[in-house]
Amino acid sequence: MISLSVNGAAGRMGRQLLAAISEHENASVGAAADAPGQACIGLDTSVLAGGDASGVSVADNVAALEAGSDVIIDFTAPAVSLALLDALQEEATAVVIGTTGFSGEQLARLQAHAATRAILFAPNYSVGVTVTLSLLQQAARALGDDYDVEIIEAHHRHKVDAPSGTALKMGEVVAEALGRDLASCAVYGREGITGVRNSQTIGFETIRAGDIIGDHTVLFAGNGERIEITHKATDRMTFARGAVRGAIWLHSQSAGLYDMTDVLGLKS
């Protein structure tokens, strides 16, 4: 039995992660934590995730989280995820990060931690999105520069970063397959007199509305035809179950930075 802990336990994803761990036959909830002062501190995790009492109460510090864990799963905010990595004492404690919205400087700090610790980091833990990334790589390689690429994503009104980490990852995969650098070819939204489209760009459009869990479409538009590759998440448990699967896989890995294509054996 692998002991998994959840940081950000009271969050939309934290609650789903607790439920996904509880339903897994080879995992148990080791510990849970959320921010100091939150109403959930001290409560049994079952109050957040439903089910029978776990006997694990929500802590407000990293030490308690680490004490109960083989692997910590963190879906919080960039500064919180980095503070967690900074505070961990044991190199053997592996960490699954689901947080999105890291700046370039924050990403470099996260990557530095992977020199001494096994870290799984993916902007989307759904198996379907991971397979979609492989399909996008294949499509972009075959279609080449004759097809314009646009990435359209939609999420719920509470999401704080845009475009989504998943949309950016899709852009990276397509840009790499086309021999482009996403940082220099990305166009984020359009307004006013934009001029004609530069065929070397990759466009991003963001929708924020209602309770949409996560929709992504990558459009390859050529002359006389277009291809749309779409993934729609309808339940956050798809991310939570993927993260738990990843955490169990990560437990037996050595220090390094991994993503879901490693977990699913899809690395090309």
With contact defined as beta carbons under 8 Å apart, do 38 and 47 qualify? no
The candidate with the shortest Cα–Cα distance to 266, out of 71, 174, 129, 149, is 129
> Count of residues binding ligand NAD (CB under 6 A)?
24
Q: Which residues pair with 88 in a beta bridge?
A: none
Place of tokens 């934009």: 194
Q: Which of 125, 204, 249, 258 binds ligand NAD (CB under 6 A)?
A: 125
Annotated catalytic, 155? yes
Residue 30, interface with ligand NAD (CB under 6 A)?
no
Q: Which of 30, 98, 163, 203 binds ligand NAD (CB under 6 A)?
A: 98
Q: Which residues pair with 118 in a beta bridge?
A: 256
Residue 68, interface with ligand NAD (CB under 6 A)?
no
Q: Which of 24, 155, 231, 251 is catalytic?
A: 155
Q: What's the CA gap between 91 and 111, in Å, rounded? A: 15
Write down the least CB distance from residue 80 to ligand NAD, Å: 4
Q: Which of 101, 176, 208, 264 binds ligand NAD (CB under 6 A)?
A: 101
Residue 35, interface with ligand NAD (CB under 6 A)?
yes
Task: For the sheet with 186-188, list strands across it.
Answer: 186-188, 202-208, 148-155, 214-221, 226-233
Residue placing its CB nearer to ligand NAD in the complex, 8 or 203: 8
Q: What's the CA gap between 93 and 257, in Å, rounded? A: 14
Q: What b-and-e string marks burial along 51-89, b requiring 16 or more CB atoms within 10 Å of the CB?
A: eeebebbbbeebebbbebbbbbbbbbbbeebbebbeebe
With contact defined as beta carbons under 8 Å apart, do 221 and 147 qualify? yes
Residue 33, interface with ligand NAD (CB under 6 A)?
yes
Residue placing its CB nearer to ligand NAD in the complex, 45 or 99: 99
Q: Which of 3, 12, 67, 206 binds ligand NAD (CB under 6 A)?
A: 12
Residue 95, interface with ligand NAD (CB under 6 A)?
no
Q: Which of 45, 54, 69, 76 binds ligand NAD (CB under 6 A)?
A: 76
Write down the least CB distance from residue 210 to ligand NAD, Å: 14
Burial (CB < 10 A; 0-12, 13-18, 19+), residue 91, is exposed
Annotated catalytic, 159? yes
Residue 206, interface with ligand NAD (CB under 6 A)?
no
Q: What b-and-e string marks burial along 254-264, b requiring 16 or more CB atoms within 10 Å of the CB?
A: eeebbbbbbbb
Residue 13, interface with ligand NAD (CB under 6 A)?
yes
Residue placing its CB nearer to ligand NAD in the complex, 10 or 49: 10
The candidate with the shortest Cα–Cα distance to 95, out of 78, 70, 115, is 70
Residue placing its CB nearer to ligand NAD in the complex, 35 or 64: 35
Contacts to ligand NAD by CB under 6 A: 7-8, 10-14, 33-35, 38, 75-77, 80, 98-101, 122-125, 239
* Active site positions, annotated: 155, 159
